[in-house]
Amino acid sequence: MPSLKTFGTIPVSWFYKRGRATGLGKSFSRFWSAWASFGLPPRRQVGLEVKGRRTGRPHTVALVIAGYDGEHYLVSMLGECEWAKNVRASGEAHIISGRRRKVRLEEVPIERRAPIIKEYIRLAPGGRPHIGLRTTATLADCQRVASNHPVFRILYQNEPPD
């Protein structure tokens, strides 16, 4: 079984260091954001476009949508990262997956994050090394890391989700 510190055989540190993307990580994120913008499989992968809290310029990052209890969520695999801080500052963003949809993102309280994180690690193999959990993790394991990984509920504006 691969280590939680690798993507297959590639060390996680090639992509992210100290919660920030390396040049290689940024390149992969740009690629996957572009891929998601065309609405290509996997459909759960999307681009999230959010304005920078200092510059006001839009930034796009590739993320995986986790569904739980009929709702859609975004999980920050890197914890307190830039996109999560930008979302908190603006509350609004755009989900890009075949088309661009305006959304409002609402942070989920820590005590309600565990089942969403469990679903996220099932769907997002690239997020597992950062969260430090495998697909066999229990809800208690997910609750243990919940305070370190912001989760946001997606509220689609003026239209239902696909």
CATH of the domain at 71: 2.30.110.10
Q: How far is CA 122 from CA 20, 26, 30, 37, 115, in A?
A: 23, 23, 23, 23, 11
Query: Total structural domains in the chain?
Result: 1
Residue span of the structural domain in which 28 resides:
6-156
Residue 44: the pLDDT is: 78
Residue 1: the pLDDT is: 43
β-bridge partners, 101: 95
**DSSP letter at 20?**
E
Question: Tens place of pLDDT for every residue, the chain, 162 residues?
Answer: 444 554 555 555 656 666 666 777 667 666 666 666 666 555 678 889 999 999 999 988 889 999 999 999 999 998 998 999 999 999 889 998 888 899 999 999 999 999 999 999 999 888 888 899 999 999 999 999 999 999 999 999 876 555
Residue 117: the pLDDT is: 98
Residue 23: the pLDDT is: 78
C-alpha 3: how far from its chain's center?
21
Residue 100 lies in a domain: yes
C-alpha 69: how far from its chain's center?
18
Residue 57 lies in a domain: yes
* C-alpha count within 13 angstroms, C-beta hemisphere, residue 69: 9
Residue 162 lies in a domain: no
Cα–Cα distance, 90 to 87 (Å, whole number): 5
Residue 110: the pLDDT is: 98
Residue 21 lies in a domain: yes
How is residue 142 written in tokens? Answer: 């997910």
Cα–Cα distance, 16 to 7 (Å, whole number): 12
Residue 2: the pLDDT is: 46
Nearest to 108 by CA among 75, 81, 156, 157: 75
- The enclosing H or E element of 106 equals strand 100-107
SS3 label, residue 93: strand
Residue 37 lies in a domain: yes
Residue 92 lies in a domain: yes
Residue 161 lies in a domain: no
| Backbone angles phi and psi of 61, in degrees to 5 | -135, 145
Cα–Cα distance, 64 to 45 (Å, whole number): 4
Cα–Cα distance, 60 to 15 (Å, whole number): 17
- How much is the pTM? 0.78
Residue 1 lies in a domain: no
